[in-house]
Amino acid sequence: MSILHIVADNCSRMTNCMKAVIPYYKKRGETPKEALERLSFEKPYLKGQTLSYAGRLDPLAEGLLLVLVGDSNKERERYLSLQKTYVFDVLFGFSTDTYDIAGKLTEISDISIPLLKIIKGVASFEGVHTEAYPPYSSKPVQGKPLFVWAREGRLSEITIPTHTVEIKRASLLKTGTISGDDLYASVQSSLESLTGDFRQQDIWACWEANLEGTYLKKYQTATIEISCGSGTYVRSLVHNLGKAVGVPALTLRIVRTSVGDYTLRDVHPLSSA
């Protein structure tokens, strides 16, 4: 590997960890900042070192987080530009204001989607696209993050910025279903995994009211893998997939499996415990 790569165990044997890249597993429900705090707790020898991450993950997204230690932070832009791979589960029939399972419901549909339509929708991912930032994201507009504008109900006062993303490869891995009972449990566990104010009570009340009496019902799902450039929001891709197939869609689960040459196989065991 051309870039300097020192994993946690090797780093622990150094008297001064001045330059290192640690492939770390960010857990579902924690912010990248909380992941860095957990790493510092697990690895006391990192105390006093400058730590940052190259490529953020949403709180409900999990998987590979590149932690830059010491002088590696000087090359942060290079690490940020590395190609990334995600595997994610899509739930059809629902949309939320956050484009994932931890948002307020905005649309519900019972329409069944033919497999061919899903295949064509996934294939349309590939290429270079102009993508709007999700309303619930940290992209700053006029000095404050988009999610603040969204929470204040003032999105109509601004123009949501766009950016260019490139999807090198998109593959439909499988399709399936999830029962209303399992969906209920998934929403509940997802909201419980979040710390801080993510409107959990209001969101849970919304989902609970709409899932009541649907425990035996089946909802369509799909598992997709993409390889993409920096800045890609999987949530936005899934939201747009729903528009393409004519049925609302959101992300149930997102896992980042690789960043450049780093993969989940490089992750130190303690970080995924």
pLDDT exceeds 80 at position 6: no
Give the long-range contacts of residues 4-12, CB within 8 A, separation 24 or more. 4/72, 5/262, 5/266, 6/69, 7/266, 7/268, 8/43, 8/268, 8/270, 8/271, 9/268, 11/43, 11/45, 11/46, 11/69, 12/43, 12/45
Position with higher pLDDT, 106 vs 7: 106
At residue 14, φ and ψ (nearest 5 deg) are -90, 145
- Give the pLDDT confidence of 137-177 residue by residue, as tens digits: 999 999 999 999 999 999 999 999 999 999 999 999 999 99
What is the CATH code of the structural domain delimited by 8-82+261-272? 3.30.2350.10
Distance in angstroms (rounded) separating the CA atoms of residues 215 and 181: 4
b/e per residue 41-66 (b: at least 16 CB within 10 A):
eebeebeebebebbbebbbbbbbbbb
The domain locations on the chain are 8-82+261-272, 84-259
Identify the band that residue 4 occupies on the pLDDT scale cut at 50, 70 and 90: very low
pLDDT exceeds 70 at position 18: no
Do the domains at 8-82+261-272 and 84-259 have one common CATH topology?
yes
What is the CATH code of the structural domain delimited by 84-259? 3.30.2350.10
Rg (CA), the chain: 19
Identify the band that residue 183 occupies on the pLDDT scale cut at 50, 70 and 90: very high
The whole-model pTM stands at 0.91
Average confidence (pLDDT) over 75-104: 97
DSSP for 74-136, written as a single string: GGHHHHHTS-EEEEEEEEESEEETTSBTTS-EEEE------HHHHHHHHHTTSEEEEEEPPSS
- Give the pLDDT confidence of 200-246 residue by residue, as tens digits: 999 999 999 999 988 889 999 999 999 999 999 999 999 999 999 99
Distance in angstroms (rounded) separating the CA atoms of residues 64 and 263: 7
Distance in angstroms (rounded) separating the CA atoms of residues 108 and 207: 11
Average confidence (pLDDT) over 101-123: 96
The pairing of strands 61-70 and 19-26 is antiparallel
